[in-house]
Amino acid sequence: MTRRPAAAIVYRRRRHVVNLLILAADGPEGQLTSANVGGFHLLQWQKGGMAFSAVSDLNPAELREFATLIRSH
Report yes or no on 1 lying in a domain: no
Q: What is the pLDDT confidence band of residue 9, given thresholds at 50, 70 and 90?
A: very high
Report whether 11 contacts 66 (CB < 8 A): yes
What's the CA gap between 61 and 47, in Å, rounded? 21
Helix then strand then coil, % of the chain, to nearest 5? 15, 50, 35
Check whether 1 has a pLDDT greater than 70: no
What is the per-residue pLDDT across 18-57, written as a single tens digit (0 to 9) for each?
999 999 988 788 888 889 889 999 999 999 899 999 999 9
> Distance between CA atoms of 11 and 66, rounded to whole angstroms?
10
Res 3 pLDDT > 90: no
Query: Is residue 57 a part of any domain in this protein?
Result: yes
What is the span of the domain harbouring residue 32? 6-71
Say if 38 falls within a structural domain. yes
Cα distances (Å, whole numbers) of residue 45 to 14, 15, 21, 54: 24, 25, 11, 9
pLDDT of residue 58: 94
Tally the domains of the chain. Answer: 1
